Structure 1
Amino acid sequence: MVSYSVHGSLNVDGSLKKLTLDFLNKLQENPASPGLHIEPIRNSVDSRARTGRVNDQFRAVLFELRDNHDHHFVIVGVYNHDDAIKKAQNVSLSVNPVNGITRLIDTTTEGSVKEQASKPESLRKQEEAAAQAEAFAKAQQEPTPVEIALPSKIFADHGYTAELLEAELGIDPHATETVLGLSSDREISKSLRSSPPWERDALIGLAAGLSIEDVREELGISAALSEPDNRTEDAKTIAGLKLPAAQMEFAYLDTPTSEELRKVIETKDFDSWRVYIDPSQRTLVDANFSGSGRVFGGAGTGKTVVVVHRANRLSTDYKEGSTPPRVLLTTFTKGLAEALKSSANALNPLFPEAERPGTPGMWIGGIDQVTMMIIKAASRAEIEAATEKVLGRATPSVRVFNRNENEEFWDDALLASEQTDLPQEIQHPEFLSQEFESVILARSITTQKEYLRTPRPGRGTPLNRPQRKKVWEVIEMFMKSCSREGKHAWPAISAIASEILNARADNGRGRLFDHVLVDEAQDFHAGHWRFLRACVEPGPNDIFLAEDSHQRIYGQRHVLSRFGISTRGGASRRLTLNYRTTEENLNYALGMLTGEWIDAEGEEDSIEHYRSARKGPKPVLHRFETEGEEFEGIAKLIRHWQDTEKDIRIGILARSGPLTNRIVSALSEDGIQAVKTQNAEVAAHETVSVMTMHGAKGMEFTHVVLVGMGSDLIPMKYQLEGLGQAEKADANQRERSLLYVAASRSRDELVLTTHSAPSELLPGIAH
């Protein structure tokens, strides 16, 4: 059997793509073919190094390995003939004696870690970028400086020595000594360029406060080998290439297809080709749970990547000739669902796609789209039975409220029930909507008796028994009006769809899906969770969700055990390493998250140990006198970025729709083409995209401008009028989440602008 590992540095351009693909296909068909000229290299540091003929001018550099079952080639790259010979003479594969991880050592491009220990790389580029951004500020206020962590102190506090980390994790002592000599943990990544990726991540994690066990778990690093290893060197090397940590540097292809090989050749960016996952993420992709599973963590830590990879694994896990499993991959909005489908296609263009929800294969769609498909396909009898179970009365019609109808129906219910003497905060449509969703729908309540007996965990404003009776009268009148008109809020529609599925299962028709995977789970409401629980039978790998409680920008928080979904213990894993956002932007975004945050298991969610391996300029706040000057400043900044940067995508994010309209018009008048869009695919191909902060969920940009960051807009005061203190606190927390989401969309540079006093929710602003 012929298999490959491809090193991450492989990069083939132009006409070489087809030639290299032909070479790899021939190598797989017959490695002994004379036309390939697979030849050992004289004076090579590794006797397994080879070159192979791509054409008269170019040769591939590779290693040839063999064990009892595998004929394995490690592809390093394609070079001009003489360069290929030199490369092959100076590269080697090494197996870490402590943890068994294979790495590539290339003396043609790397200095040793020991040499780098005395010369940490300068931070000149990031300082220049910060200076350029600052030049645009008429007046500015920078975030409160983040305390610089001294690695030597952190390591000393935890007892981490070079000898200990070598013995426990297999980290090169010279790499540890390099870190101990740095003035800030921010310099680790650049100072260890020649170290294997897993080693850099391990040291960054340790400097962030992770324990040795935490690092082992995140990177899939085994404890030190205790038994003598009698395998051949080739067998050890092949086994080491398969380890999760090694696959941060190599992609292991077991009997690769031509399509997989083509992706390797045609994609310049290795991480993009793989839809990159690190070892901690891979563990979640491959894990099998007795029930439900969960991944949680901050923005940019790869939760969505895990969900997409896992969905692909589950949907393709079937024998040839049999029927693919029925898999649902869903998320909160249509735009996010489109982004998931794009990622799924990038990962595997041949994934089995379902014709409709519930047929073999994977169906990808927004959660509300799926529920409405169930509603529309249901019979009148099914709808009447389901609405009676949800609302206590049957109705043959189910339509969605228009924009303002939810509030209007609550106002009418208050008047019709004659309960207008309730305290103002309890009469508020927002409070009543939340009570209906979080208590009535979440607990399947249809009578006053049930309502008076049920607990109200998570509901801030308390209700005594007389108040509960009055609130029930309002809710009952609301449900009657909804049933009479056949119009409902989305949570009720999802609950109705769940009862349709439950009735079908009770009648022997089974459940709709075998596996359900959910992205952005923190935004799902009670009706969604009732629906998802009804979609799949409780059992192995039934529901897998990705959430970040700090990104909850819609609805209420829920504890999923109330819906028969539990991910406690080993079925839940936290990701903490950010791959998208620079450390400076990440720290600023995290600074918005004050207060207590509760996750889907009802436990406090911490931001401790969140970290980034990337560096960049500090976020900057620009203050202007008028909105017109603010827009002019943004236009000037955009032109500067366009003139000095390549391959940029700029996101202009605003709190409200009207503000996005004004900024698009202003930029157009200034000669800048800016596209207003909420579509991730459209934004991916535009230089300047304008959208609301809500619409930016799930997207990323190289540069982000948060416009209108004044206290007059954030938070929106009118939305808080009449709310009780608990509901105001929750609304403010959602506003902080929104700012966190918006700030963490930036990959490289983050700029904030305002022409009024800055919002008190921003880090560094006095409260």
Structure 2
Amino acid sequence: MPRLAFDIGFCAQLGKLQGTVRQGVFDAWEKFERLTLDQLFKDPGLKLETLQQARDRHIRTIRIDKGTRGVVLAPSSGDTFVLLRVMPHDKAIDWAVKQKASINTVTRSVELRDIAMLDELTPAYERIAADTTPDQRLFGKISDGDMAALGVDATTLRQARVLTSVEQLEVFAPYFPPDQREVLEYLAADFTVDQIWREVVAVNLAAAENDTDPVDTTDYATAINRTSTRIAVISDGDELRDILSKPFDAWRVFLHPSQHKVAYRASYSGPAQVSGGPGTGKTVVAMHRVRHLLKFLRDGERILLTTYTNALVAALRSGLAALVDDEELRERVDITTVDALASRVVSTSRRPLRGGEEEPRWQQAAQATGFTGTTQFLAQEYKHVVLAQNLRTQEEYEAADRPGRGRALPASARPLVWRTIQTFVDQLAADGLRTYLGTCSEAADLLGEKGPRYRHIVVDEAQDLHPVQWRLLRAASADRPDDLFIAGDPHQRIYDSKVSLKALGIKVAGRSTKMRKNYRSTHEILSWSTGLLVGRPFEQLEDDSRNETLLGYRSSLHGNGPQLHAAASAAGELDALVDRVRAWMENGVAPDEIGVTTRFNKDVEKAIAKLVAAGIPARKLRADSAEGTDAVRVGTMHSFKGLEFRCVAVTGVNEDALPFSKAVTPVEVDRLQHEADLMSERCLLFVACTRARDGLFVSWAGEPSRFVLEATRAE
């Protein structure tokens, strides 16, 4: 029976399609569901047409609505057609005649390349390469045999052999078949053939791991079924309507083999970790892991899905609802922040300190004990030494090492510091107050006495959790297989809570996976954003003696790079913001697919007022809801953590805001903390910029942030 499947390239453009076009796609899918092959070819409304001058006879077009056509792979074998793209009539024809489909003899999957553009580019670059020896070219040290073993076919090999630089590879990359392009990008980043086989090729072979028969390069029916990472076969009309109505959630259809391998591994012998840069799918993998674990829960067992902020909790709740249809199963998952878990465990009436209340309390404690140092030093000593190391007595504190602290503290000074910290804690308790981290410490103690609450714990945005929060999570689940599943990225650490899981007894060695492929942002946006961080050391989550790196971090998406705008005044910057948002909307971007972020709350309110006054619906990002009304969402950079939008405007990126002086410890107070705070500010901008998928707008009034200047120079 005929059916219409969907290529990931079509899903990527879904958000840009008008409602009538989406309905036309659904109508076309329905025809494939109810008509025979003969009827499809004769249907006057579908107009399944062959193309004059097509480079591949398997590429045809169908009518979607008036003036719009879909490009389909219509193989001569089998009855599954694949919708590749939807475009205005003339553009669809122009694109379709340039494409060529093939079946990779190594990965056994369907591939698509712009053969016309590759044939046009190759002769010019062959002439350039003629002035070099083969060894001087980009892949001169890689043998033809190794290339073939990695799935690089003869056509791509010819084109790859003429390249002399990474910059030339970037010219060709958008037109290569995706899997072969990925192999070449790994090779260009100096990964070994063995590494690429394990990380790229082997994971793509999962669907065919038991198939040892020679590959039939004409059998598209079999190959389409093996290409589940890029081709989705949808048999339910309600599911398709849901995808078409929520185009930004189309990721649910696809899971890269490397992601699937991690998320659906039958069992881990202990804690497991997945790390990777923004957009590599860590959160998606975490939610799929929850889905997998739900299948094996016994009566009375529960799962905790936890993260750092309430906004992320809302996003996780929405994502899991889209992924797990069974409401009864979802009810067995508690989705909450670690701080909220602690409050639930302790069940105390003491109120947590609000913003601005902590410093006066430290001042009171210092006055009571005669401590003459800064309150900033005291607060950091309490957080990074006492709580981080779980020190309970003065003797333990006096004997403790203070790793990460940049100011020496002689033994003679420690008793007074301890008394001051203890006075702070006692006064809070007497006044019915508490700190969030102090509550986590109490909760960890209680669970240590009463026993764990959860069979499994899945942690998202793990890099910002404090050691005391990790002790709570460790106590909340028994130490056994599949106890903790951890997703995080040190490059997105925007708070100053460094942690070594190894030092806390959470050992992920042998159960740790790094993801390097970005599925969210365009290559151009990603390249500029990574310029903010490249070359700076980041401690790995599992072991703070080892550094994380962005080596090999890349995107397969191509599009526009960031637009940088220098305004003469704050008012002019707001005017530019309105112009940019309006232009995005005029190009078909829905308001709730647009995010506007800035460093301070006061600027959030100004941006909302300006947008609304200009007739653009806008509202403040709410922590209790990931699903927006049809309005531009505006929030601080901290609140945007973990979220994503089709287009993002990052405003107020001036030297006074990033780095923000009040967020950076003075060098004279603590040199190492000063450096860590600067890195957190840099990461904050990196996180804000990498929320964008298709469009990024970065603006400032006055002097630009030094971070912007450095990123621009690094391109």
CA RMSD of aligned residues (A): 4.8
Task: Report what 1:88 is aligned to.
Answer: none
Alpha-carbon contact 1:328-1:516 (below 8 Å) kept: yes
Which one of the candidate residues 618, 640, 659 is aligned to 1:715?
659
Q: For the residues of structure 2 that align with 1:532 and 1:456, how far apart are their CA atoms?
A: 24
CA contact (8 A) 1:401 1:488 kept: yes
- The question of 1:364 aligning with 2:335 is answered yes
Q: Does 1:428 align with 2:428?
A: no
Q: Is it true that 1:416 corresponds to 2:368 in the alignment? A: yes
| Counterpart for residue 385 of structure 1 | none
Instruction: Choose the corresponding residue for 1:14, options 1, 23, 26.
Output: 23
1:342 aligns with 2:349: no
Number of positions where the alignment pairs a residue of Structure 1 with one of Structure 2: 664
Aligned 8 A contact 1:117 1:175 in 2: no
Is 1:176 the counterpart of 2:119? The answer is no
Q: What are the residue-to-residue correspondences of 1:45-124 with 2, within 5 Å?
A: 74=80, 76=82, 96-97=104-105, 99-103=106-110, 117-118=122-123
When residues 330 and 754 of structure 1 are mapped into structure 2, their CA distance, relative to the original with a 3 A threshold, is: same
TM (norm. structure 2) is: 0.79
* Paired AA for residue 628 in structure 1: A
Structure 2: distance between partners of 1:182 and 1:233:
30
Alignment partner of 1:632 out of 565, 568, 575 = 575
The equivalent residue for 1:127 is none
Match of 2:273 among 286, 294, 300: 294
Indicate the residue corresponding to 1:406 in structure 2. Answer: 358
Deviation track 1:85-144 (CA, whole Å, cap 9, x = no partner) reads: xxxxxx9997644x35232679xx976966774589xxxxxxxxxxxxxxxxxxxxxxxx
Match of 1:761, SS state, is: helix
Q: Take 2:526 and 2:314, find their aligned partners in 1: how far apart are those partners?
A: 26
- The whole-number CA distance in structure 2 between the counterparts of 1:715 and 1:186 is 32
Please state how far the C-alpha of 1:542 moved relative to its aligned partner. Answer: 1.1
- CA separation of 1:745 and 1:258: change in aligned 2, threshold 3 A: closer
CA–CA separation in structure 2 for the residues paired with 1:179 and 1:92 = 18
Of 548, 551, 575, the residue aligned with 2:515 is: 575
**How far apart are the structure 2 equivalents of 1:192 and 1:596?**
29
Give the Cα–Cα distance (whole angstroms) in 2 for the partners of residues 61 and 624 of structure 1.
Answer: 48
- The aligned counterpart of 1:382 is none
Instruction: Mark the CA change 1:268 to 1:454 in structure 2 (over 3 Å): closer, same or farther.
Output: closer
State whether structure 2 residue 559 is matched by structure 1 residue 616. yes
Letter in 2 for 1:159: K
Which letter does structure 2 place at the counterpart of 1:272?
A: A
Q: How big is the shift at 1:537?
A: 0.9
Change (3 A) 1:8 1:754: closer
Contact conserved, 1:248 with 1:279, CA < 8 A, in 2?
A: yes
Letter in 2 for 1:364: I
2:141 to 155, 159, 179: 159
Change in Cα spacing, 1:544 to 1:662, as seen in structure 2 (3 Å) is same
Shift of 1:451: 1.4
Tell me: CA distance 1:231–1:612, structure 2 relative to 1, closer, same or farther (3 Å): closer
What letter corresponds to residue 533 of structure 1 in structure 2? R
Give the one of 545, 551, 570 matched to 2:486.
545
| Deviations, residues 708-739 of structure 1 (Å, cap 9, x unaligned) | 22222222223445732222222111101111
Change (3 A) 1:240 1:428: farther
CA contact (8 A) 1:219 1:278 kept: no
Matched, 1:278 2:218: no
Q: How does 1:735-746 map to 2 (within 5 A)?
A: 735-746=681-692
2:46 alignment partner in structure 1: none
The aligned residue for residue 96 of structure 2 is none
Deviations 1:408-448 (A, max 9, x none): 2221221112222xxx4xx333x323322333223332111
Q: How does 1:227-306 map to 2 (within 5 A)?
A: 229-230=212-213, 246-251=227-232, 272=250, 274-287=252-265, 288-306=267-285
What CA distance in whole angstroms lies between the structure 1 residues aligned with 2:680 and 2:300? 40
Question: 2 CA distance for matches of 1:262 and 1:689?
Answer: 25
Q: 1:35 to 1:757 in 2, by over 3 A?
A: closer
Per the alignment, in what secondary structure is the counterpart of residue 732 of structure 1?
helix
- Do 1:711 and 1:760's aligned partners in 2 also have CA atoms closer than 8 Å? yes
Task: Please give the alpha-carbon distance, in whole angstroms, between the structure 1 residues aligned to 2:704 and 2:324.
Answer: 45
Please state whether the residue corresponding to 1:762 is helix, strand or coil. helix
Secondary structure, counterpart of 2:344 in structure 1: helix
C-alpha deviation, 1:403, in angstroms = 2.2
> How far apart are the structure 2 equivalents of 1:231 and 1:190?
34
Shift of 1:21: 6.2
CA displacement 1:137-162 (0-9 Å, x = unmatched) = xxxxxxxxxxxxx999896466124x
1:679, distance to aligned residue in structure 2 (A): 4.8
Determine helix, strand or coil for the equivalent of 1:659.
helix
3-state DSSP of counterpart to 1:653 = strand
Equivalent residue for 1:219?
Answer: 200
Question: What code does the residue aligned with 1:410 have?
Answer: W
Q: Is the 8 A contact 2:308 2:338 kept in 1?
A: yes
User: Which digits, 9 at most, give the CA deviation of each residue in 1:379-400, with x for residues without a partner?
Assistant: xxxxxxxxxxxxxxxxx75431
Distance, in Å, in 2 between the alignment partners of 1:409 and 1:268 is 48
Q: Quick check: 1:518–1:545 contact (8 Å CA) kept in 2?
A: yes
Q: Deviations over 1:7-65 (max 9, x none)?
A: 557899537748956975x99xxx9x99999xxxxx9xx9x99xxxxxxxx9x998899
Q: Give runs of aligned pairs for residues 688-707 of structure 1, distance below 5 A.
A: 688-707=632-651
Contact 2:407-2:669 at 8 Å conserved across structures: no
Structure-1-length-normalised TM-score: 0.74
Taking only the aligned residue pairs, the percentage that are identical comes to: 28
Do structure 1's residue 210 and structure 2's residue 150 form an aligned pair? no
Match of 2:435 in 1: 489
How far apart, CA to CA, are the structure 2 residues paired with 1:190 and 1:618? Answer: 15
Deviation at 1:678, TM superposition (A): 4.2
Distance 1:61 1:228 in 2: 24
| C-alpha deviation, 1:325, in angstroms | 5.0
Aligned to 1:676: 620
Rate the CA distance shift 1:473–1:419 in 2: closer, same or farther, 3 A: same
Change (3 A) 1:529 1:189: same
